[in-house]
Protein backbone atom coordinates (compact mmCIF):
# COMPACT_ATOMS: atom_id res chain seq x y z
CA UNK A 1 0.00 0.00 0.00
CA UNK A 2 1.81 3.11 -1.25
CA UNK A 3 0.49 6.46 0.03
CA UNK A 4 -0.63 9.14 -2.40
CA UNK A 5 1.46 11.87 -0.83
CA UNK A 6 4.85 12.20 0.80
CA UNK A 7 6.97 14.77 2.56
CA UNK A 8 9.23 16.72 0.27
CA UNK A 9 11.19 19.93 0.12
CA UNK A 10 11.88 22.08 -2.89
CA UNK A 11 14.08 25.00 -3.71
CA UNK A 12 11.88 27.05 -6.01
CA UNK A 13 8.93 29.25 -5.21
CA UNK A 14 6.11 27.77 -7.22
CA UNK A 15 3.52 30.52 -7.02
CA UNK A 16 0.48 28.28 -7.57
CA UNK A 17 -0.34 24.56 -7.41
CA UNK A 18 1.61 22.97 -10.23
CA UNK A 19 1.20 19.57 -11.89
CA UNK A 20 4.34 17.95 -13.27
CA UNK A 21 5.08 14.66 -15.02
CA UNK A 22 8.00 12.74 -13.52
CA UNK A 23 10.38 11.88 -16.33
CA UNK A 24 12.96 9.16 -16.65
CA UNK A 25 14.92 8.46 -19.84
CA UNK A 26 11.90 6.64 -21.29
CA UNK A 27 9.65 9.71 -21.04
CA UNK A 28 12.41 11.91 -22.46
CA UNK A 29 12.94 9.56 -25.41
CA UNK A 30 9.21 9.28 -26.13
CA UNK A 31 8.93 13.04 -26.54
CA UNK A 32 5.19 13.03 -25.77
CA UNK A 33 5.12 15.62 -23.01
CA UNK A 34 6.70 19.10 -23.03
CA UNK A 35 9.98 19.29 -21.10
CA UNK A 36 8.67 22.40 -19.35
CA UNK A 37 5.95 20.24 -17.73
CA UNK A 38 8.33 17.54 -16.53
CA UNK A 39 10.41 16.88 -13.46
CA UNK A 40 13.57 15.00 -14.48
CA UNK A 41 14.17 12.10 -12.12
CA UNK A 42 17.82 12.37 -11.16
CA UNK A 43 17.58 9.68 -8.53
CA UNK A 44 18.48 7.19 -11.27
CA UNK A 45 22.28 7.24 -11.82
CA UNK A 46 22.02 7.04 -15.65
CA UNK A 47 19.98 10.25 -15.80
CA UNK A 48 22.10 12.07 -13.21
CA UNK A 49 25.30 11.30 -15.13
CA UNK A 50 24.12 12.97 -18.36
CA UNK A 51 24.95 16.66 -18.11
CA UNK A 52 23.57 17.43 -21.60
CA UNK A 53 20.22 16.00 -20.53
CA UNK A 54 20.24 18.15 -17.42
CA UNK A 55 20.79 21.31 -19.48
CA UNK A 56 17.40 20.95 -21.19
CA UNK A 57 14.55 23.22 -20.10
CA UNK A 58 12.94 20.94 -17.52
CA UNK A 59 10.47 22.36 -15.01
CA UNK A 60 12.70 20.94 -12.30
CA UNK A 61 14.63 17.96 -10.99
CA UNK A 62 13.64 15.18 -8.62
CA UNK A 63 16.66 14.45 -6.45
CA UNK A 64 17.71 12.28 -3.56
CA UNK A 65 17.11 13.57 -0.09
CA UNK A 66 20.82 14.06 0.55
CA UNK A 67 21.74 15.56 -2.84
CA UNK A 68 23.46 18.91 -2.75
CA UNK A 69 21.88 21.64 -4.84
CA UNK A 70 23.70 21.70 -8.18
CA UNK A 71 21.23 22.63 -10.91
CA UNK A 72 20.11 26.07 -11.96
CA UNK A 73 16.42 25.23 -11.94
CA UNK A 74 14.16 23.90 -9.24
CA UNK A 75 14.97 20.81 -7.27
CA UNK A 76 12.42 18.67 -5.46
CA UNK A 77 13.78 16.31 -2.82
CA UNK A 78 11.42 13.50 -1.84
CA UNK A 79 11.82 12.55 1.82
CA UNK A 80 11.31 9.02 3.08
CA UNK A 81 10.19 6.12 0.89
CA UNK A 82 11.47 6.84 -2.63
CA UNK A 83 9.00 4.35 -4.17
CA UNK A 84 6.10 6.75 -3.56
CA UNK A 85 7.00 8.66 -6.74
CA UNK A 86 8.26 6.97 -9.89
CA UNK A 87 8.82 7.95 -13.52
CA UNK A 88 5.52 8.31 -15.36
CA UNK A 89 3.64 9.58 -12.31
CA UNK A 90 2.07 13.04 -12.21
CA UNK A 91 2.69 14.98 -9.01
CA UNK A 92 1.28 18.18 -7.63
CA UNK A 93 3.46 20.72 -5.88
CA UNK A 94 1.47 23.04 -3.65
CA UNK A 95 2.97 26.30 -2.42
CA UNK A 96 3.13 26.47 1.35
CA UNK A 97 2.85 22.70 1.75
CA UNK A 98 5.58 20.37 2.94
CA UNK A 99 4.08 17.49 0.97
CA UNK A 100 4.00 16.46 -2.64
CA UNK A 101 0.84 14.71 -3.88
CA UNK A 102 0.61 11.94 -6.46
CA UNK A 103 -2.31 12.76 -8.80
CA UNK A 104 -1.64 9.94 -11.26
CA UNK A 105 0.36 6.78 -10.62
CA UNK A 106 1.55 4.83 -13.66
CA UNK A 107 0.45 1.18 -13.52
CA UNK A 108 -2.01 1.68 -10.66
CA UNK A 109 -5.44 0.09 -11.05
CA UNK A 110 -7.20 2.88 -9.15
CA UNK A 111 -6.33 6.24 -10.68
CA UNK A 112 -9.12 8.73 -10.01
CA UNK A 113 -9.87 12.21 -11.30
CA UNK A 114 -11.35 13.75 -8.16
CA UNK A 115 -14.12 16.02 -9.45
CA UNK A 116 -15.56 17.73 -6.39
CA UNK A 117 -16.02 17.47 -2.63
CA UNK A 118 -19.68 18.46 -2.96
CA UNK A 119 -22.58 16.02 -3.11
CA UNK A 120 -26.37 16.20 -3.26
CA UNK A 121 -26.75 12.92 -1.31
CA UNK A 122 -25.58 12.04 2.18
CA UNK A 123 -25.14 8.26 2.11
CA UNK A 124 -24.92 6.41 5.41
CA UNK A 125 -21.73 4.63 4.29
CA UNK A 126 -20.14 7.46 2.29
CA UNK A 127 -16.37 6.90 2.23
CA UNK A 128 -15.70 10.52 1.21
CA UNK A 129 -18.01 12.69 3.34
CA UNK A 130 -19.06 15.70 1.26
CA UNK A 131 -18.13 19.29 2.04
CA UNK A 132 -19.99 22.30 0.71
CA UNK A 133 -17.03 24.15 -0.76
CA UNK A 134 -16.57 26.11 -3.97
CA UNK A 135 -14.22 23.89 -5.93
CA UNK A 136 -15.07 24.56 -9.56
CA UNK A 137 -11.34 25.37 -9.95
CA UNK A 138 -10.92 21.60 -10.20
CA UNK A 139 -12.27 21.63 -13.77
CA UNK A 140 -9.18 23.39 -15.14
CA UNK A 141 -6.89 21.39 -12.89
CA UNK A 142 -8.36 18.07 -14.10
CA UNK A 143 -8.13 19.13 -17.74
CA UNK A 144 -4.47 19.98 -17.10
CA UNK A 145 -3.88 16.64 -15.34
CA UNK A 146 -5.47 14.66 -18.18
CA UNK A 147 -2.89 16.15 -20.56
CA UNK A 148 -0.05 14.62 -18.48
CA UNK A 149 -1.46 11.09 -18.13
CA UNK A 150 0.08 8.23 -20.14
CA UNK A 151 -1.64 7.88 -23.52
CA UNK A 152 -1.90 4.10 -23.07
CA UNK A 153 -3.53 4.29 -19.62
CA UNK A 154 -6.21 1.54 -19.69
CA UNK A 155 -8.76 3.17 -17.40
CA UNK A 156 -9.52 6.16 -15.22
CA UNK A 157 -12.34 6.84 -12.79
CA UNK A 158 -14.00 10.20 -12.28
CA UNK A 159 -15.38 10.43 -8.77
CA UNK A 160 -16.14 12.79 -5.92
CA UNK A 161 -18.42 13.88 -4.24
CA UNK A 162 -20.92 13.96 -7.03
CA UNK A 163 -19.21 14.73 -10.37
CA UNK A 164 -22.40 16.00 -12.05
CA UNK A 165 -22.39 18.96 -9.64
CA UNK A 166 -19.65 20.32 -11.92
CA UNK A 167 -22.48 20.82 -14.44
CA UNK A 168 -21.05 21.45 -17.90
CA UNK A 169 -17.60 21.29 -16.29
CA UNK A 170 -17.97 17.49 -16.20
CA UNK A 171 -18.50 17.34 -19.95
CA UNK A 172 -15.45 19.61 -20.35
CA UNK A 173 -13.32 17.11 -18.39
CA UNK A 174 -14.68 14.10 -20.32
CA UNK A 175 -14.20 15.93 -23.62
CA UNK A 176 -10.59 16.61 -22.60
CA UNK A 177 -10.22 12.88 -21.93
CA UNK A 178 -11.64 12.16 -25.38
CA UNK A 179 -9.09 14.50 -26.97
CA UNK A 180 -6.03 13.43 -24.96
CA UNK A 181 -6.88 9.85 -23.96
CA UNK A 182 -9.25 8.39 -26.55
CA UNK A 183 -8.06 4.82 -25.81
CA UNK A 184 -8.66 5.10 -22.07
CA UNK A 185 -11.85 3.74 -20.55
CA UNK A 186 -13.54 6.43 -18.45
CA UNK A 187 -15.70 5.25 -15.55
CA UNK A 188 -17.73 8.02 -13.91
CA UNK A 189 -19.18 7.32 -10.46
CA UNK A 190 -22.38 9.34 -10.13
CA UNK A 191 -25.60 9.04 -8.14
CA UNK A 192 -27.40 9.72 -11.42
CA UNK A 193 -29.87 12.20 -9.91
CA UNK A 194 -28.90 15.11 -12.16
CA UNK A 195 -29.69 13.09 -15.27
CA UNK A 196 -33.40 13.40 -14.63
CA UNK A 197 -32.73 16.52 -16.71
CA UNK A 198 -32.85 14.90 -20.16
CA UNK A 199 -31.00 17.81 -21.76
CA UNK A 200 -28.09 17.31 -19.37
CA UNK A 201 -28.04 13.55 -20.02
CA UNK A 202 -28.12 14.14 -23.78
CA UNK A 203 -25.09 16.43 -23.51
CA UNK A 204 -22.92 13.33 -22.98
CA UNK A 205 -24.04 11.52 -26.12
CA UNK A 206 -21.01 10.50 -28.16
CA UNK A 207 -18.64 12.50 -25.98
CA UNK A 208 -16.05 9.73 -25.44
CA UNK A 209 -15.53 6.43 -27.29
CA UNK A 210 -15.32 4.42 -24.06
CA UNK A 211 -17.39 5.82 -21.22
CA UNK A 212 -19.41 4.04 -18.49
CA UNK A 213 -21.52 5.50 -15.69
CA UNK A 214 -21.49 3.66 -12.35
CA UNK A 215 -24.75 4.54 -10.60
CA UNK A 216 -25.79 3.20 -7.17
CA UNK A 217 -29.24 1.75 -6.55
CA UNK A 218 -29.86 0.39 -3.08
CA UNK A 219 -33.34 -1.02 -3.24
CA UNK A 220 -36.41 -1.89 -5.27
CA UNK A 221 -38.41 0.56 -3.18
CA UNK A 222 -38.01 4.30 -2.68
CA UNK A 223 -38.05 4.09 1.11
CA UNK A 224 -34.96 1.88 1.27
CA UNK A 225 -32.93 3.77 -1.35
CA UNK A 226 -33.83 7.20 0.04
CA UNK A 227 -32.96 6.03 3.56
CA UNK A 228 -29.52 4.73 2.52
CA UNK A 229 -28.68 7.94 0.63
CA UNK A 230 -30.43 10.11 3.27
CA UNK A 231 -32.17 12.12 0.55
CA UNK A 232 -35.97 12.13 0.03
CA UNK A 233 -36.87 11.83 -3.63
CA UNK A 234 -33.49 10.39 -4.66
CA UNK A 235 -34.88 6.99 -5.79
CA UNK A 236 -37.26 8.61 -8.30
CA UNK A 237 -34.58 11.00 -9.54
CA UNK A 238 -32.03 8.22 -9.97
CA UNK A 239 -34.49 6.05 -11.88
CA UNK A 240 -35.43 8.91 -14.19
CA UNK A 241 -31.70 9.54 -14.55
CA UNK A 242 -30.97 5.93 -15.49
CA UNK A 243 -33.64 5.96 -18.21
CA UNK A 244 -32.36 9.30 -19.50
CA UNK A 245 -28.79 8.00 -19.62
CA UNK A 246 -29.96 4.93 -21.52
CA UNK A 247 -31.88 7.14 -23.95
CA UNK A 248 -28.71 9.19 -24.40
CA UNK A 249 -26.88 6.06 -25.55
CA UNK A 250 -24.73 5.67 -22.43
CA UNK A 251 -23.21 2.50 -20.95
CA UNK A 252 -24.49 1.93 -17.42
CA UNK A 253 -23.31 -0.09 -14.44
CA UNK A 254 -25.43 -0.34 -11.29
CA UNK A 255 -23.46 -0.42 -8.03
CA UNK A 256 -24.93 -1.87 -4.85
CA UNK A 257 -23.11 -1.50 -1.52
CA UNK A 258 -23.95 -4.54 0.58
CA UNK A 259 -25.05 -3.07 3.89
CA UNK A 260 -27.39 -4.92 6.27
CA UNK A 261 -30.61 -3.12 5.17
CA UNK A 262 -29.73 -3.60 1.49
CA UNK A 263 -29.02 -7.32 1.99
CA UNK A 264 -32.52 -7.81 3.41
CA UNK A 265 -34.03 -6.94 0.01
CA UNK A 266 -31.22 -7.87 -2.37
CA UNK A 267 -33.17 -10.62 -4.20
CA UNK A 268 -36.04 -8.12 -4.72
CA UNK A 269 -33.58 -5.58 -6.09
CA UNK A 270 -32.18 -8.21 -8.49
CA UNK A 271 -35.67 -8.94 -9.84
CA UNK A 272 -36.34 -5.21 -10.12
CA UNK A 273 -33.15 -4.68 -12.13
CA UNK A 274 -33.95 -7.54 -14.49
CA UNK A 275 -37.54 -6.43 -15.10
CA UNK A 276 -37.12 -2.65 -15.19
CA UNK A 277 -33.52 -1.90 -16.11
CA UNK A 278 -32.49 -4.71 -18.48
CA UNK A 279 -30.18 -2.32 -20.36
CA UNK A 280 -27.79 -2.19 -17.40
CA UNK A 281 -24.54 -3.75 -18.62
CA UNK A 282 -22.94 -4.67 -15.31
CA UNK A 283 -24.03 -5.00 -11.70
CA UNK A 284 -21.35 -4.59 -9.02
CA UNK A 285 -22.25 -5.97 -5.59
CA UNK A 286 -19.77 -4.35 -3.23
CA UNK A 287 -18.58 -4.78 0.34
CA UNK A 288 -18.60 -1.60 2.43
CA UNK A 289 -15.46 0.54 2.64
CA UNK A 290 -15.00 1.03 6.40
CA UNK A 291 -14.13 4.72 6.43
CA UNK A 292 -15.90 8.08 6.45
CA UNK A 293 -19.56 8.02 7.49
CA UNK A 294 -19.58 4.20 7.52
CA UNK A 295 -17.58 4.20 10.75
CA UNK A 296 -20.28 6.20 12.52
CA UNK A 297 -23.03 3.84 11.31
CA UNK A 298 -21.36 0.49 11.94
CA UNK A 299 -24.24 -1.07 13.85
CA UNK A 300 -26.82 -0.10 11.22
CA UNK A 301 -24.66 -1.20 8.29
CA UNK A 302 -22.42 -4.12 9.20
CA UNK A 303 -23.28 -7.60 8.13
CA UNK A 304 -20.58 -10.25 8.16
CA UNK A 305 -20.00 -11.42 4.56
CA UNK A 306 -19.99 -14.94 5.99
CA UNK A 307 -23.75 -14.45 6.55
CA UNK A 308 -24.38 -13.13 3.03
CA UNK A 309 -23.38 -16.27 1.12
CA UNK A 310 -26.71 -17.85 0.21
CA UNK A 311 -28.40 -14.52 -0.63
CA UNK A 312 -25.42 -13.42 -2.73
CA UNK A 313 -25.32 -16.75 -4.55
CA UNK A 314 -29.06 -16.67 -5.33
CA UNK A 315 -28.76 -13.06 -6.54
CA UNK A 316 -25.66 -13.59 -8.66
CA UNK A 317 -27.08 -16.73 -10.25
CA UNK A 318 -30.50 -15.12 -10.85
CA UNK A 319 -28.89 -12.23 -12.73
CA UNK A 320 -26.19 -14.11 -14.60
CA UNK A 321 -28.61 -16.82 -15.80
CA UNK A 322 -30.64 -13.99 -17.35
CA UNK A 323 -27.65 -12.56 -19.18
CA UNK A 324 -26.83 -9.75 -16.76
CA UNK A 325 -23.13 -9.47 -15.86
CA UNK A 326 -22.46 -9.52 -12.11
CA UNK A 327 -19.29 -8.94 -10.09
CA UNK A 328 -18.52 -9.04 -6.39
CA UNK A 329 -16.18 -6.32 -5.13
CA UNK A 330 -14.37 -5.89 -1.82
CA UNK A 331 -15.26 -9.33 -0.45
CA UNK A 332 -12.46 -11.70 0.67
CA UNK A 333 -12.67 -15.13 -0.97
CA UNK A 334 -12.57 -17.10 2.28
CA UNK A 335 -15.84 -15.46 3.38
CA UNK A 336 -17.69 -16.62 0.26
CA UNK A 337 -19.02 -20.00 -0.89
CA UNK A 338 -16.79 -21.43 -3.62
CA UNK A 339 -19.60 -21.09 -6.17
CA UNK A 340 -19.25 -17.31 -5.81
CA UNK A 341 -15.49 -17.18 -6.39
CA UNK A 342 -15.83 -16.81 -10.18
CA UNK A 343 -17.81 -13.59 -9.57
CA UNK A 344 -15.26 -12.07 -7.15
CA UNK A 345 -12.84 -9.42 -8.46
CA UNK A 346 -9.69 -7.88 -7.05
CA UNK A 347 -11.42 -4.55 -6.88
CA UNK A 348 -9.57 -2.56 -4.22
CA UNK A 349 -7.15 0.00 -5.64
CA UNK A 350 -3.49 -0.92 -5.14
CA UNK A 351 -2.82 2.05 -2.89
CA UNK A 352 -5.66 1.05 -0.53
CA UNK A 353 -5.22 -2.72 -0.60
CA UNK A 354 -3.87 -4.75 2.27
CA UNK A 355 -3.82 -8.28 3.71
CA UNK A 356 -4.13 -9.47 7.30
CA UNK A 357 -1.61 -11.69 9.13
CA UNK A 358 -4.18 -14.50 8.71
CA UNK A 359 -3.58 -14.31 4.95
CA UNK A 360 0.01 -15.52 5.29
CA UNK A 361 0.25 -18.88 3.64
CA UNK A 362 -3.13 -18.62 1.89
CA UNK A 363 -2.98 -20.33 -1.48
CA UNK A 364 -5.50 -17.85 -2.96
CA UNK A 365 -3.79 -14.66 -1.85
CA UNK A 366 -2.89 -13.70 -5.45
CA UNK A 367 -6.51 -14.05 -6.53
CA UNK A 368 -8.10 -12.50 -3.43
CA UNK A 369 -8.73 -8.77 -3.24
CA UNK A 370 -7.94 -8.70 0.48
CA UNK A 371 -8.99 -5.68 2.54
CA UNK A 372 -9.04 -1.93 2.61
CA UNK A 373 -5.92 -0.68 4.38
CA UNK A 374 -8.03 0.87 7.14
CA UNK A 375 -10.03 -2.24 8.01
CA UNK A 376 -10.53 -2.75 11.76
CA UNK A 377 -11.57 -5.88 13.72
CA UNK A 378 -15.20 -4.75 13.91
CA UNK A 379 -15.31 -4.69 10.08
CA UNK A 380 -13.56 -8.06 9.72
CA UNK A 381 -15.43 -11.28 9.03
CA UNK A 382 -15.24 -14.12 11.53
CA UNK A 383 -14.61 -16.41 8.54
CA UNK A 384 -11.18 -15.05 7.59
CA UNK A 385 -8.80 -18.01 7.41
CA UNK A 386 -6.09 -19.02 4.94
CA UNK A 387 -7.22 -21.37 2.22
CA UNK A 388 -4.86 -24.27 1.82
CA UNK A 389 -3.93 -25.81 -1.53
CA UNK A 390 -5.95 -28.89 -0.53
CA UNK A 391 -9.13 -26.83 -0.12
CA UNK A 392 -8.53 -24.71 -3.20
CA UNK A 393 -10.53 -26.20 -6.02
CA UNK A 394 -10.78 -22.92 -7.91
CA UNK A 395 -8.68 -24.23 -10.82
CA UNK A 396 -11.34 -26.77 -11.62
CA UNK A 397 -13.97 -24.04 -11.60
CA UNK A 398 -12.28 -21.43 -13.78
S1 LIG B 1 -7.08 -15.66 4.01
FE2 LIG B 1 -6.71 -13.59 3.26
S3 LIG B 1 -5.89 -13.90 1.17
FE4 LIG B 1 -6.86 -15.82 1.79
S5 LIG B 1 -8.94 -15.72 0.99
FE6 LIG B 1 -9.01 -14.98 3.12
S7 LIG B 1 -8.77 -12.78 2.99
FE8 LIG B 1 -8.13 -13.63 1.02
For residue 93, the cross-strand partners are 18, 100
Q: Confidence class of residue 96 from pLDDT cuts 50, 70 and 90?
A: confident
Dihedral pair phi/psi, residue 76, rounded to 5° = -120, 120
Statement: the pTM of the whole predicted model exceeds 0.85: yes
Best residue for ligand 1 mutational test, from 309, 358, 367, 394 (most atoms within 8 Å of Cβ): 358
- Measured distance CA(284)–CA(344) in Å, rounded: 10
The yes-or-no verdict on residue 395 having pLDDT over 50 is no
What is the average per-residue pLDDT within 350-378?
A: 94
Closest ligand 1 atom to residue 385 Cα is 1
- The stretches of 124-276 forming alpha helices (DSSP H) are 138-146, 168-180, 198-202, 222-229, 234-247, 260-264, 266-276
User: Which residues touch 257 (CB under 8 Å, ≥6 apart)?
Assistant: 125, 216, 218, 228, 286, 287, 288
CA-angle at 348, arms to 346 and 352, nearest 5°: 140
Please say if the pLDDT value at position 192 is more than 90: yes
Band of the pLDDT at 26, cuts 50, 70, 90? Answer: confident
Distance 371 CA to ligand 1 centre (A): 9
The preferred substitution site among 305, 359, 383, 385 for testing ligand 1, maximizing ligand atoms within 8 Å of CB, is 359
Ligand 1 atom at minimum distance from 362 CA: 4
Q: Is a pLDDT exceeding 50 seen at residue 186?
A: yes
* Nearest alpha carbon, ligand 1 atom 2: 359
Is any ligand 1 atom within 6 A of the Cβ of residue 348? no
| Residue 393, pLDDT above cutoff 70 | no
Of ligand 1's listed atoms, the one at least distance from the Cα of 333 is: 5
Say what the pLDDT of residue 124 is: 98
Is the Cβ–Cβ distance between 158 and 174 less than 8 Å? yes
Q: Which residues pair with 283 in a beta bridge?
A: 254, 326
Would the pLDDT of 396 be above 80? no
Q: Which of 204-218, 313-327, 342-356 is predicted with the least confidence, judged by mean pLDDT?
A: 342-356
pLDDT at 364 over 60: yes
In this structure, the residue with its CA closest to atom 3 of ligand 1 is: 365
Element (H, E) at 26: helix 25-30
Domain boundaries, the chain: 5-104, 112-349
Q: Residue 68 pLDDT > 60, yes or no?
A: no
CA dist 227 → 196, 232, 301, 304, 375 (Å): 20, 8, 12, 21, 25
> How does pLDDT run across 193-247, given as a tens digit for each residue?
999 999 999 999 999 999 999 999 999 999 999 999 999 999 999 999 999 999 9
Instruction: Give the pLDDT band of residue 398 (cuts 50, 70, 90).
Output: very low
397 band by pLDDT with thresholds 50, 70 and 90: very low
Please work out whether the CB of residue 20 comes within 6 Å of at least one atom of ligand 1. Answer: no
The CATH fold of domain 112-349: TIM Barrel (3.20.20)
User: Which of 43-52, 177-186, 281-290, 298-307 has the least mean pLDDT?
Assistant: 43-52
Q: State yes or no: pLDDT of 311 exceeds 90.
A: yes
Amino acid sequence: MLPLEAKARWSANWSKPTLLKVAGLEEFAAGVFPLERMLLDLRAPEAASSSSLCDLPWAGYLVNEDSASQYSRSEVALLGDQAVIRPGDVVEIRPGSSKIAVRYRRGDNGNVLFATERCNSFCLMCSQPPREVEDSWRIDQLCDLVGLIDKDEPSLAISGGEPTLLGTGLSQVIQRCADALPQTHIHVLSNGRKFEDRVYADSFTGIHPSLTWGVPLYGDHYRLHDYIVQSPGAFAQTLRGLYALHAAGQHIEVRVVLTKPVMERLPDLARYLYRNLPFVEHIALMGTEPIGFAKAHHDELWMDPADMGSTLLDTAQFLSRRGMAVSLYNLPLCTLPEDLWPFARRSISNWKQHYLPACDGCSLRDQCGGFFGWVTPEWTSRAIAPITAKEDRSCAKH
